[in-house]
A and B are shown apart, each in its own frame.
Chain A
Amino acid sequence: QQQVRQSPQSLTVWEGETAILNCSYEDSTFNYFPWYQQFPGEGPALLISIRSVSDKKEDGRFTIFFNKREKKLSLHITDSQPGDSATYFCAASGSNYNVLYFGSGTKLTVEP
Chain B
Amino acid sequence: GPKVLQIPSHQIIDMGQMVTLNCDPVSNHLYFYWYKQILGQQMEFLVNFYNGKVMEKSKLFKDQFSVERPDGSYFTLKIQPTALEDSAVYFCASSFPQTNTGQLYFGEGSKLTVL
| A contact residues around B75 at 8 Å (CB) | none
Nearest CB of chain A from residue B30's CB, rounded to whole Å = 10
Chain B residue nearest to A42 (CB atoms) is B108
Q: Is the CB of A97 within 8 A of B55?
A: yes
Contact with A along B40-79 (1 / 0, CB 8 A): 1111110010100001100000000000000000000000
Chain B residues, CB < 8 A from A89? 42-43
Selected from B42, B101, B102, B107, the residue in CB contact (under 8 A) with A43 is B107
A32-B101, A97-B31, A98-B104 known; A44+B41 contact, CB < 8 A: no
Size of B's binding interface in residues, CB under 8 A? 30
CA distance A95 to B98 in the complex (A): 11
A91 to B41 CA separation, bound complex (whole angstroms): 13
Q: Given A43-B106, A97-B55, A99-B33, are A31 and B100 neighbors across the interface (CB < 8 Å)?
A: yes
Given A40-B40, A89-B43, decide whether A95 and B106 contact each other with a Cβ distance below 8 A: no
Most B CB within 10 A of own CB, among A34, A44, A49, A95: A44
Please indicate the chain B residues that have their CB under 8 angstroms from the CB of A32 in the complex: 100-101
Size category of the binding interface on chain A: 20 to 34
Q: How far is the CB of A104 from chain B (nearest CB, A)?
A: 4
- Distance from A58 Cβ to chain B, minimum over Cβ atoms (Å): 18
Which residue numbers of B lie inside 8 Å of A, CB to CB? 4, 31, 33, 35, 40-45, 48, 50, 55-56, 91, 93, 95, 97-109
Interface residues of A (CB under 8 A from B): 31-32, 34, 36, 38, 40-46, 49, 51, 87, 89, 91, 93-105
